[in-house]
Amino acid sequence: MDPQNIRRIYLDHAASTPLDSRVKDAMEPYLADEFGNAGGLYREGRRAKDALDNARIQIADILGAHADEIIFTSGGTEGDTLALFGTARAHGDKGKHIVTTSIEHHAVLSACEALEKDGFEVTYVDVEPNGIVDPKKIQAALREDTILVSVMFANNEIGTIQPIAEIGQLIQEWRDEHKTRMPYFHTDACQAVGYLRMRVEELGVDFLVLNGSKIYGPKGVGALYARRGVKIKPLFYGGSQEGRRRAGTENIAGIIGLAKALEIADAEREEEFTRLTELRDYAVLRITKEIERAVPNGDLVQRLPNNINISILDIEGEAVILYLDAHGVACSTGSACTSESLDPSHVILALGKPYEYAHASIRFTLGRGTTKEDIDRLMEVLPEVTKTLRKISPIKIETDAKSMSHPEAFAGENLRVKAKSKSYK
């Protein structure tokens, strides 16, 4: 079959989503006719400023926030970096301790590593074998010099949903007990938006980050919610935009698209959650039944409705991706931000599983256009791809029957990795 004629099935919505036509329509006027700079005092500038203000109000209303608490950014990475570095630079004189988890996105982990080089101390709290952090462990890590806690709402690789509201409540109790406003609480919600309820007061967060490319909006635009009264220092300087917290001419078209995408995602959230949960569970059941030694990663219930992460033992995930791509199926091994790296997933390793499980992990993330027929097509090719790759694989992972029969509790115990005897004649 000619690869050019194969119907493509896109199963990597955690990496990026197509632009919704309704979002495109909302953006269209600001890509050409409405070109004014929101800082201008003349009519074109005022029209751009009105559009910017309306988008800010729209997003704030969905989050249950005030309009002046919304800072527009270039995306999730900048939002996370602004929250972490902005807090560290503004409050480093009060403390140099940060608490986060071992499964955060690299936007957070890399920022923490950079801050450690600047003299900050970071506590990385381990998650449980199911990929969910114990809120009490976060609370136990707090110290008098802790200025920030960062826990992602939903993991980008394994989809596990973290108990953000419970963590927020425990942090507030700690603050009350110690009569302080710190530590502040930050969550990266880029993967959770569109699937989970986003009300900042209910969550108890001081910072929340979202990204347009994950919710069928434009790429290169996002937003950071920063609670009133929480001081942060900007990453760069030059203008007074975004309350002097993020200098630079605003991307009006992108911001309009972000607001529209968030509005649609919020309106369709519950219906889409139900539909995708059923489709996800159907896919997991078929994969684990039809492919031997396919082990799900992360909690099977407390996870995003569109996320499937499975280690297919004895083969390399990257090879599966390439073979599936040749059959018209797009998926990934984990974070899109590290797709060029051959390092094993730090998230899978954090579950207590060995390197071979991390290298064998595959992520399928469903979206608005995904159908049952798409899953059926996947299952026409995935078992055969697995058989082909296992024949040439140099590794064999031995597990006990108990571990394989309870994949949601699997933590890597009783594993022995042996190289298969192979001849390359």
Question: Which helix (H) or strand (E) is 242 found in, with range?
Answer: helix 241-244
Cα angle for residues 258, 261, 265 (degrees, 5° grid): 135
* Residue carrying structure tokens 């694989």: 393
Say how far apart CA 408 and CA 356 lie, in whole Å.
17
Q: Which two tokens stand for residue 174?
A: 């700690």
Q: Which of 112, 190, 331, 337 is catalytic?
A: 337
The residues near 234 (Cβ < 8 Å, ≥ 6 apart) are: 82, 86, 244, 245, 246, 247
Look up 337 and say whether it is catalytic: yes
What is the DSSP code string of 139-162?
Answer: HHT--TTEEEEE--SB-TTT-BBP
The pair phi, psi for residue 167, each rounded to 5°, is -65, -45
Say how far apart CA 230 and CA 113 lie, in whole Å.
23
Say how far apart CA 318 and CA 343 lie, in whole Å.
11
Tally of CB atoms within 10 A around 333: 25
CA dihedral 43, 48, 53, 58 (to 10 degrees): 130
Residue 363, SS3 per DSSP: strand
Say how far apart CA 191 and CA 265 lie, in whole Å.
12
Say how far apart CA 160 and CA 195 lie, in whole Å.
12
- Active-site positions? 337
